[in-house]
């Protein structure tokens, strides 16, 4: 019975199905010369790849043809103004059919590129002739073919008059049968002829790839040193009765020159909005807040207002604009937190209850990330009124933009629909392309990476949890060579929520190691205030700070710590100065891993060709880090000197940016790194 029913259902489906169209003639997807695996690109061109102004991009493609004839490959690049340039690509590892050319993109806007592959008629002839002519095989035939190629090339009006004349004269020599064969052949392959026909080949079978796009954004979208602090703690004072007087934007502004003096160029502020009272958290995330406990800034909203309001303790909108102005005077940009969530006291809760999730018992669901619970925060539900919510968020973002904010650090973007972020970021950047969004997304790889594809200019990463040599090698290689077409990492060493065991128990060496790697491995990095004071005590059972600043005021005496020798500020200043003086450190894709014989000695370099630097001189930096903060390590490091722009067998001078010491190095070098003194070498390379 069941069998018959299934048969009848199948028959009915067959009768209802439309008849398939007659297949037409098949059109090949491959061109005359196959061009595959273009790079940079994102998901076969679904989104534009991204870059920042001044970034050096390795354009790559796989191209080949049947048989043994030679091909050439060119990059055809169209800048945002419509100006076209062509760049010859060169083959990479033999046998891979992979081609590359590096180009520095400096103009912001949407760039487009295609790759053209073609039969290189002269290179094919040269390859065959240099075998046949000396061997006396098909000599006159080969010389006739060479003559014809030179004549064709001499008629190319895109060449200079001098080039055309030289090609024409060489063709006459090749055709002169009264001359010796060696002389005729030499005329066809002399050094200048080869140079001219390499720069502008004789092209046959030209084939174009698909077009791909690259969105080039302002430099700050990809390069920066971030410093996070809570404005309420800067200038906060405890009163005789034990209560606190909050710091303000005007007291916080006094800290800005010190931050700039350490070489930072972005100041990131946690939420500055009114904080709810319902279920307000007390010290160390307790559920019983006192009357004077300030609460978490991420519990946004109270009777004083929501996401477009300023906490009264911090000052007024005028005070905030004053703070922005002082930051600009100090050479700093201000990044503002965008946290799409609400306290139970937020105006949205009564005005738009549909923007939240109501449980069967009638209560609104609060935020959870088990085992963490955030009873003072209601998450947003976009599915009940998507259009209303996205217009409200756009209004909020544009409000802060109108006051001068151009960078937003987005809290927990992975807990909101990704198509919303794609819409918001592209809508904002369509009118204000200088606005930068940083994704604070510690989440699954696919989700983290897709947020970057959707438009986030920067992303937090798993850096804080990558501490061993093996972990760091895999992690840094992935950032520089696997996801760099769309994901720009911001390597924060700590956050108010993240104090790793490595920092808790690694002592001062751990703080130096993490800062040195973050500052040199990626163009963008950051620290949360207190890092320079070696703050390392965690709340028992948690990977976050005890007496966490999220829940209380934490004024710090930076000057006293400096005077007592308990400050890392000088080290951070040194790192940022190295970044400013070494353009190689402000690139992402140029990281090259080297080998050491010790399981705790991490070695990598960054190199930038002189044609991409302002001085015209190449720049190379080697970083050697002892990632075991409890040991003294001695080992041999083995360098690929070609990754430093030097020939095999070269010796060169290195100067340590940390200590000022100098050594002569080569491919194999002894190092001794004492975690209890200086655990990291940052070596500037100078050819001898």
**Annotated catalytic sites, by residue?**
411, 440
CA distance linking residue 356 with residue 632, whole number of Å: 55
- CA atoms within a 13 Å half-sphere pointing along the CA-CB vector of 576: 22
CB 600 within 8 A of CB 679: no
**422 neighbors 486 (Cβ within 8 angstroms):** no
How far, in Å, CA of 197 to CA of 212, rounded?
28
Strands (E), 458-573: 458-459, 490-492, 524-528
Q: CA geometry: angle at 110 spanning 104 and 113, to 5°?
A: 65
Report whether 174 contacts 188 (CB < 8 A): yes
Rounded Cα distance, 468 and 628, in Å: 8
> What is the rounded CA–CA span in Å between residue 68 and residue 81?
40
Residue 424's alpha-carbon distances to 384, 412, 420, 452, 461, in angstroms, are 18, 15, 6, 13, 22
Q: What is the DSSP string of 542-583?
A: SSSBTT-TTTS-----HHHHHHTT---HHHHHHHHHHHHH-G
CA distance 276 to 343: 5
Helices and strands, number each (H, E), in the chain: 18, 33
**Alpha-helical runs (H) found in 108-248:** 121-135, 139-154, 161-175, 181-188, 191-199
Closest CA to 296 of 367, 238, 376, 236: 376
Residue 159 DSSP one-character state:
S
Total residues found in the chain within this entry: 688
How is residue 96 annotated by DSSP? S
CA–CA gap between residue 262 and residue 259 (Å, rounded): 5
Please tell me what DSSP assigns to residue 466: -
At 403, list the tokens: 């006051």
Tell me the C-alpha distance between 329 and 324, whole Å.
Answer: 9
483: three-class secondary structure by DSSP: coil
How is residue 481 written in tokens?
């060579």
Asked if residue 518 lies in contact with residue 491, where contact means CB atoms within 8 angstroms, the answer is: yes
Residues near 262 by beta carbon (within 8 Å), at least 6 away in sequence: 227, 532, 569, 572, 573, 576
How many CA within 13 A on the CB side of residue 413? 30
Phi and psi dihedrals of 102, rounded to 5? -100, 135
Q: What are phi and psi of 114, to 5 degrees?
A: -135, 160
> What is the C-alpha separation between 151 and 163, in angstroms, rounded?
12
Burial of 181-192, coded b for 16+ CB within 10 Å and e otherwise, reads eeebbebbbeee
- For the chain, percent helix, then strand, then coil, each to nearest 5? 35, 25, 40
The gap between the terminal CA atoms of the chain, to the nearest Å, is 90
């Amino acid at each position: 019975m069941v069998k018959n029913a299934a048969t009848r259902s199948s028959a009915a489906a067959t009768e209802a199905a439309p008849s398939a169209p007659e297949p037409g003639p098949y059109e090949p997807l491959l061109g005359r010369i196959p061009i595959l695996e273009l790079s940079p690109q994102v998901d076969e061109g679904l989104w534009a790849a991204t870059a920042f102004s001044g970034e050096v991009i390795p354009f790559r493609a796989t191209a080949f043809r049947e048989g043994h004839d030679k091909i050439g490959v060119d990059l055809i690049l169209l800048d945002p103004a419509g100006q076209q340039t062509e760049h010859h690509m060169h083959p990479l590892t033999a046998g891979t059919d992979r081609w590359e050319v590096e180009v520095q993109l400096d103009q912001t806007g949407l760039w487009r590129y295609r790759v053209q592959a073609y039969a290189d008629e002269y290179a094919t002839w040269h390859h065959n002739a240099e075998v046949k002519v000396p061997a006396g095989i098909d000599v006159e035939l080969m010389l006739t073919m060479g003559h014809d190629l030179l004549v064709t090339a001499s008629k190319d009006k895109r060449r200079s008059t001098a080039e055309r004349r030289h090609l024409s004269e060489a063709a006459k020599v090749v055709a002169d049968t009264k001359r010796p064969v060696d002389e005729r052949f030499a005329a066809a392959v002399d050094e200048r002829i080869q140079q001219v026909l390499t720069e502008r080949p004789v092209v046959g079978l030209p084939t174009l790839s698909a077009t791909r796009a690259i969105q080039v954004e302002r430099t700050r979208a990809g390069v920066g040193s971030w410093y996070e602090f809570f404005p309420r703690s800067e200038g906060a004072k405890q009163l005789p009765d034990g209560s606190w007087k909050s710091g303000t934007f005007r007291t916080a502004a006094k800290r800005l020159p010190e931050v700039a003096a350490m070489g930072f160029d972005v100041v990131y502020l946690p939420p500055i909005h009114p904080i709810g009272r319902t279920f307000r958290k007390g010290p160390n995330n307790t559920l019983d807040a006192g009357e004077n406990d300030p609460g978490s800034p991420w519990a946004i909203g109270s009777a004083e207002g929501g996401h477009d309001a300023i906490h009264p303790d911090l000052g007024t909108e005028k005070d905030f604009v004053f703070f922005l102005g002082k930051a600009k005077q100090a050479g700093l940009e201000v990044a503002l937190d965008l946290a799409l969530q609400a306290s139970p006291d937020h105006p949205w809760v009564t005005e738009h209850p549909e923007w939240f999730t109501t449980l069967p018992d009638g209560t609104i669901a609060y935020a959870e990330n088990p085992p963490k619970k955030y009873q003072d925060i209601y998450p947003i539900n976009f599915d009940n009124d998507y259009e209303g919510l996205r217009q409200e968020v756009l209004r909020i973002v544009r409000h802060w933009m109108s006051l001068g904010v151009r960078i937003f650090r987005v809290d927990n973007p992975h807990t909101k629909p990704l198509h919303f972020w794609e819409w918001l970021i592209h809508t904002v950047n369509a009118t204000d392309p200088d606005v930068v969004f940083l994704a604070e997304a510690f989440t699954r790889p696919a989700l983290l990476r897709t947020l970057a594809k959707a438009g986030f200019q920067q992303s937090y990463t798993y850096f804080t949890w990558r501490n061993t040599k093996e972990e760091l090698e895999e992690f840094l290689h992935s950032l520089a060579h696997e996801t760099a077409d769309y994901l720009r990492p911001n390597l924060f060493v700590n956050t108010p929520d993240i104090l790793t065991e490595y920092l808790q128990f690694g002592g001062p060496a751990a703080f130096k190691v993490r800062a040195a790697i973050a500052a040199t491995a990626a163009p963008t990095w950051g620290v949360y205030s207190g890092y320079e004071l070696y703050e390392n005590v965690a709340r028992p059972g948690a990977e976050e700070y005890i007496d966490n600043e999220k829940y209380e005021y934490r004024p710090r005496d930076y000057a006293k710590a400096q005077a007592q020798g308990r400050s890392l500020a000088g080290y951070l200043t040194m790192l940022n100065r190295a970044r400013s003086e070494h353009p190689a450190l402000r690139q992402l894709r140029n990281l090259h891993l080297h080998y050491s014989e010790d399981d705790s000695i991490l070695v990598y370099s960054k190199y930038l060709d002189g044609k991409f630097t302002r001085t015209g001189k190449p720049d190379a930096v080697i970083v050697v880090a002892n990632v075991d903060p409890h040991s003294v390590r001695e080992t041999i490091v083995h360098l690929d000197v070609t990754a430093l722009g030097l020939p095999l067998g070269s010796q060169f001078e290195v100067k340590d940016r940390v200590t000022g010491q100098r050594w002569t190095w080569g491919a194999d070098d002894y190092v001794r790194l004492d975690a209890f003194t200086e655990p990291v070498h940052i070596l500037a390379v100078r050819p001898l």
